[in-house]
Structure 1
Amino acid sequence: MLLQAPAEPLATREVPFTAATTPRRWTLRVMGAAPRYTIPAAALSITHQLGEALVPIVMGLAIERAVTTGDPVQLLLWLGVLAADFLVLSFSWRFGSRLAELGMLTVQHRLRTTVAAHLLQRPPRPGRPSEQPGVALSIATSDANRLSEAVEIGVYPVGQLAAVLFGGAVLVTISWPLGVAVLVGAPVLLWLTERAGRPLRDRSGQEQEAAAVAAGRAADLLSGYRVVRGIGAEAEATRRYGRASRAALADTVRARRTEGVFGGAMSIVTGLFLTAVAVVAAVLTLSGVLGLGEFIAVVGLAQFLLEPLQVLALYTGAWWASATASAARVLDVLRDGEPLADVVDQPPRPVNLPDVHAGELVVIACDGSRADDVVAALRARHPDALHAPHAAHLFAGSVSENVAGSETDAAARDAALHAAACDELAELLPEGLDSRVGENGTALSGGQRQRVALARAIARDAELLVLHDPTTAVDAVTEARIAERVRTVRRGRRTVIVTRTPAFAAVADRVVRITDGDPA
């Protein structure tokens, strides 16, 4: 069965994955996820590289047929051919690189939106690494970006490989030992690239993991700053973040060191290989086997082939290593296969939900271990209802902007603010309801964040509203006041509240207690 993250269909359809998909195989699928851009870009890349390879050949022919013979007509002819070649290769590079970049950015956007939608829509599960905002951000941005770079592997290396094969074929016509050496040596270097790139791939994964942990620590530190400061734990929090940051730095340095050693070794190998080709060509020229023009063509081709061989050996291996490492991390999130810290993932137990009649406020009381099952069952049974999760997220705007939507009038907003006891915040916050809440409400206390999130849900005036523990961070007096006001503002609408709070039970039309799956 095809597993897909709950994101825009275009993204998941073009980069499909299953439970058995490996990071290597998924990276290959990402490479072909934007064919409308990458196929013409690859064709233009081949044209550009072949044009580059023709430059020393045309120059050699010009010397052989025009300079050595003193024929001005031949000289003008070959200069015209050289100018046309430069025109074609310049055009191919300009538009081919643009198409390749556009294809990469398109896939990058699809991957980011796929991961972000999955992270936002999946139910919370404590202990999951990507529940930390910093880790989730790292996966949705850095890992998605690195994975999307695999698109360029299907563009530039294709042209460079074509240049190596074309150059080798030309060398075969000039001197078959030199041509065979290039055609045999290039695949050997590519094989060495794959072998040498394995440690780099491992280092890249460790670097990304450590960076995500450090980002998660930083995000957690900022989101819990009030609590940390209140208990006087600033020094300990700083030390913990410092350890995570130093670990991320150490892994990054090791990864870059490995990449540097890998690149240096490949540069030396390819340089020595092509230098040997040039030396052999010089010996053949001195012995009379090759002419002057042929020697210049061979030396020029050897010098030109140095770059595509180095790129094939260095950047292709580095891109592939980085992309597959990031693919593993993204796949873990999309398949919800992340390792958990002391948490065993159990399938939800079946729940027999009560019917909710028009105008009713029903409280479903259940233990914490059953609350997630009840919420999941409510989502499945009432997909069109407005579901307000326990851990709601706020946007980096004002209190009013978080509560009022594009279709919310002032009266509905004020009623919702009053029902959630947010109107009291106007007296506490420096700019009243126009005060900025910070990213995810970091400028507010836990109780204030809950009240703003509750007001936002009420302001939508949904026909069926499902709330999950909306007042756990609120004091008992305020909680009782909120319960009464929610009862009033929701009159005539259906409301389901999953909570064991006595305040809501006191105002409910019915209280349904669920223990082992059946309502009591």
Structure 2
Amino acid sequence: MLLQAPAEPIRTRPIHVDDATTPRRLTLRVMAAAPRYSVPAAVLSITHQVGEALVPVLMGLAIERAVSSGDLGQLLLWLGLLAADFALLSFSWRFGSRLGELGMLAVQHRLRTLVTEHLLLRASGARRASNQPGVALSLATSDVNRLSAAVEIGVYPVGQFAAVLFGGSVLLAISWPLGIAVLIGAPLLLWLTERAGRTLRTRSGDEQEAAAVAAGQAADLMAGYRVIRGIGAEAEASSRYRQTSQSALASTLLARRAEGVFGGTMDVASGLFLTGVAVAAGLSAITGGLGVGELIAVVGLAQFLIDPLQYAARNAGGLWASAMASSTRLLALLREVGPDATSVTRSRRSAARGIGLVAEGEVVGVAADGAEAEAVIAALEEAHPDALAAPHEAHLFTGTVWQNVALPTVDAARARAALTAAGCDELIELLPQGWDSPVGENGSTLSGGQRQRVALARALAQDAPVLVLNDPTTAVDAVTEAAIADRLRQARAGRRTVVVTHSPALLAIADRVVRIDRTEPRTEAAS
């Protein structure tokens, strides 16, 4: 298996995922996926951090060579150099941060495209956790965001580590014992960061998994709320979600606790380390080993280096731990495979043989669901290129009922006929403004049955030569479904119509019924 995000206008390297890909490899590939942005951003980050480290050095030199001697020319020279350094700091930070953010967003877009494509193309018949809308949303947003943030590891921590090396080199020139202490102690501290981040990585993975499960369950509860309410299971559904939510909260608290311990430990370790450097410098000044300007430079460098050491530890360790946890979850998703191409082709050919070409004015009922239904619809689209396939999960546009049906290509008379055929005539009495009532975002103000009927009316209003409907009445009651079935045949008179469903009412109006099972389809005469 080899997956790769498609090419995009935003230039990034391909992010390959195959069977040999490990979470570490995927994270490293993400870090290196946008060199066009991350490399110049890293250079500017290094420039910014080195410029920051130069501030106490320039101040120490100004005191040593200008203030102590009272030389006005030297004072103006060093103040000018200090001003130029601050200008460089401002430029490098502004543009370095912008390029780093662009690189992260470019990789984020490529990753989200890869994940979304996999979610859309993967077979829907298998029962997987990632089939839950909330879990899929969490993977395509939260996990993609955390993994793409790994790009920043190659930008900001690089500059911070460069500042540590530069500061250590300056200290080495001033006092070699202090310089050696910084140059050896800083890498050791960063290595300990990776070791300490293992607990955080585990906690972060648990947190994201629990949050995704809670989100998935919440989305499923909201989608099936009317059914839950109809069977009186609100209390049980609330209890189950409360348990899942509490589990997610517990995992989040554990992850934040681990993150706090991790950050606090790094703060204490780096602070004690650099405090020791400053104390050693003070003792050296007392014994005459350092001048006043040198002491100021050493103390200023030691104080400055606390920040890059701490942030390098937090950024590199925290971002890496979070990215590795999300990388593990995304790899699990990307390795979920549906039926192979041969199986899909065989299903489509089998469906095509069973259904055959739909005759003019014929209504064909196809008893199929799941993967078989998808194969039927794909076969019909191949056999009839002019077919309009209306999906089961139809999305309504924001606007009114009328605006969802009376599209620019549909005249008013056809829209009214389609609304009546789909059983939407009763909505005139049920909704506050009749057909002019807003449906809300994706039909949120309508019931499930009302949404289905509006979506069916929209499909009928197109008056397509070949119309393929996939379970168009699963959310309506039996009486309404029977009425819709009778009207459907009249509305599609003289046109080809295929209804993929197990509904007895819809199959009863068909001229012939094709039953698709996992072996071979069989055709039954209309009853």
TM-score, normalization: structure 2?
Answer: 0.87
Matched with 1:28 is 28
The superposition leaves residues 187-238 of structure 1 with CA deviations (integer Å, 9 ceiling, x where unpaired) of 2112111111111111112112222222233323333332333333322222
| Equivalence map 1:82-481=2 (5 Å) | 82-116=82-116, 118-120=118-120, 122-125=122-125, 127-336=127-336, 350=347, 351-352=349-350, 353-354=352-353, 355-357=356-358, 359=360, 360-366=362-368, 370-375=372-377, 377-378=379-380, 385-395=387-397, 397-405=399-407, 407-438=409-440, 440-481=442-483
Contact 2:388–2:466 (Cα < 8 Å) also in 1: yes
Quote how far apart the aligned CAs of 1:243 are.
1.4
Change (3 A) 1:26 1:507: same
**Residues of 1 paired with 2:343 and 2:112: CA distance?**
28
Contact 1:6–1:118 (Cα < 8 Å) also in 2: no
1:517 aligns with 2:489: no
Change (3 A) 1:229 1:500: closer
Quote how far apart the aligned CAs of 1:126 are.
6.0
Secondary structure, counterpart of 1:277 in structure 2 = helix
Contact 2:410–2:462 (Cα < 8 Å) also in 1: yes
Contact 1:224–1:442 (Cα < 8 Å) also in 2: no
Quote how far apart the aligned CAs of 1:495 are.
3.2
1:64 aligns with 2:67: no
Quote how far apart the aligned CAs of 1:170 are.
1.8
Contact 2:363–2:489 (Cα < 8 Å) also in 1: yes
Quote how far apart the aligned CAs of 1:82 are.
0.7
Could you tell me which amino acid in structure 1 is paired with residue 71 of structure 2? D
Secondary structure, counterpart of 2:455 in structure 1 = helix
Give % identity. Answer: 68
Secondary structure, counterpart of 1:290 in structure 2 = coil
**Residues of 2 paired with 1:25 and 1:404: CA distance?**
52
Contact 2:270–2:306 (Cα < 8 Å) also in 1: yes
Between 412-421 and 364-373, report the one with greater CA deviation: 364-373
The superposition leaves residues 221-262 of structure 1 with CA deviations (integer Å, 9 ceiling, x where unpaired) of 333332333333322222222212211111111111100000
Quote how far apart the aligned CAs of 1:153 are.
1.8
Contact 1:388–1:468 (Cα < 8 Å) also in 2: yes
Quote how far apart the aligned CAs of 1:374 are.
3.5
Quote how far apart the aligned CAs of 1:104 are.
2.7
Secondary structure, counterpart of 1:422 in structure 2 = coil
Matched with 1:2 is 2
1:496 aligns with 2:508: no
Could you tell me which amino acid in structure 2 is paired with residue 495 of structure 1? T
**Residues of 1 paired with 2:161 and 2:464: CA distance?**
60
Quote how far apart the aligned CAs of 1:157 are.
1.1
The superposition leaves residues 382-439 of structure 1 with CA deviations (integer Å, 9 ceiling, x where unpaired) of 7874433334344555433444555444344334323322233222223322334455
Between 471-480 and 200-209, report the one with greater CA deviation: 471-480
Contact 1:11–1:110 (Cα < 8 Å) also in 2: no
Quote how far apart the aligned CAs of 1:55 are.
0.8
**Residues of 2 paired with 1:294 and 1:391: CA distance?**
72
TM-score, normalization: structure 1?
Answer: 0.88
**Residues of 1 paired with 2:440 and 2:288: CA distance?**
78
Secondary structure, counterpart of 2:127 in structure 1 = coil
The superposition leaves residues 105-127 of structure 1 with CA deviations (integer Å, 9 ceiling, x where unpaired) of 34334444554455456553463
Contact 2:418–2:460 (Cα < 8 Å) also in 1: yes
Quote how far apart the aligned CAs of 1:168 are.
1.7
**Residues of 2 paired with 1:97 and 1:472: CA distance?**
52
Matched with 1:343 is none
**Residues of 1 paired with 2:331 and 2:408: CA distance?**
35
Quote how far apart the aligned CAs of 1:80 are.
0.8
Matched with 1:39 is 39
Secondary structure, counterpart of 2:499 in structure 1 = strand
Secondary structure, counterpart of 2:60 in structure 1 = helix
Contact 2:153–2:315 (Cα < 8 Å) also in 1: no
Secondary structure, counterpart of 2:365 in structure 1 = strand
Quote how far apart the aligned CAs of 1:6 are.
8.3
Change (3 A) 1:26 1:155: same
Quote how far apart the aligned CAs of 1:440 are.
4.7
Contact 1:37–1:103 (Cα < 8 Å) also in 2: yes
**Residues of 2 paired with 1:251 and 1:463: CA distance?**
55
The superposition leaves residues 82-111 of structure 1 with CA deviations (integer Å, 9 ceiling, x where unpaired) of 111011111211222222223333433444
Quote how far apart the aligned CAs of 1:185 are.
1.6
Contact 2:125–2:370 (Cα < 8 Å) also in 1: no
Quote how far apart the aligned CAs of 1:24 are.
2.5
Contact 2:4–2:14 (Cα < 8 Å) also in 1: no
Secondary structure, counterpart of 2:17 in structure 1 = coil
**Residues of 2 paired with 1:266 and 1:368: CA distance?**
53
**Residues of 1 paired with 2:27 and 2:406: CA distance?**
42
Between 151-160 and 441-450, report the one with greater CA deviation: 441-450
Change (3 A) 1:281 1:259: same
The gaps in structure 1 that reach 5 residues or longer are: 339-345
Could you tell me which amino acid in structure 2 is paired with residue 414 of structure 1? R
